[in-house]
Amino acid sequence: MHQLKKTQNILISVKEAWEFFSQPDNLAKITPSNMNFNILSRSDAGEMYPGMIITYQVSPLFNLSVNWATEISQIKEHKYFIDNQIQGPYKIWHHEHHFKETENGTEMRDVLFYEVKFGLIGQLLHRLFIRKRIEGIFNYREEKIKELFGSV
């Protein structure tokens, strides 16, 4: 299993950060355009809740379009939420989004656990492309979030 952790400090309150990041529609604003990210449906257009299912179409690698479905499994308002892939390109995708108030704004921390499909071939693809692609997506997000909210 692979893991990626990212921490970023931004100049808005936890409440403001929560309002932005807990809205699925805002994910497109912080996702690279070459991923062709598109929300297809969600189980409810209201606030995020445990059990909410969101389906996407995305091109994670080689411009190949795949359907992806995630379920919001846990939420503690203004503290964290967790989404898990229930259908998509990974064997496992568990993404934790943590928020913590600081004296200068909000510390956001992403913790991602993932595992690729296809055994040894998948591991080779991970070494050659997938890991770099995932890191690139999170680096892009970091820069877009700085543009949108500033950083400490």
Domain boundary assignment for the chain: 2-33+77-149
Span 125-152, mean pLDDT?
95
Of the two residues 44 and 75, the one the predictor is more confident about is 75
Cross-strand pairs, 66: 58
Residues 140-145: contacts with CB within 8 Å, 24+ apart?
140/30, 140/31, 140/32, 141/6, 141/30, 141/31, 142/6, 142/8, 144/29, 144/30, 145/8, 145/10, 145/30, 145/108
- Between the alpha carbon of residue 114 and those of residues 30, 47, 76, the distances in Å are 20, 26, 22
Q: Which CATH superfamily is domain 2-33+77-149 in?
A: START domain (3.30.530.20)
pLDDT given for residue 46 in this prediction = 74
Q: pLDDT > 90: what percent of the chain?
A: 89
Copy the structure tokens of residue 143: 């820069």
Whether pTM > 0.85 for this model: the answer is: yes
Of the two residues 42 and 70, the one the predictor is more confident about is 70
pLDDT given for residue 44 in this prediction = 76
* 52-75: pLDDT as tens digits: 999 999 997 778 899 999 999 999
**Which of 44-48, 62-66, 93-97 has the highest average model confidence (pLDDT)?**
93-97
Q: Tell me the pLDDT of the chain averaged across its residues.
A: 95
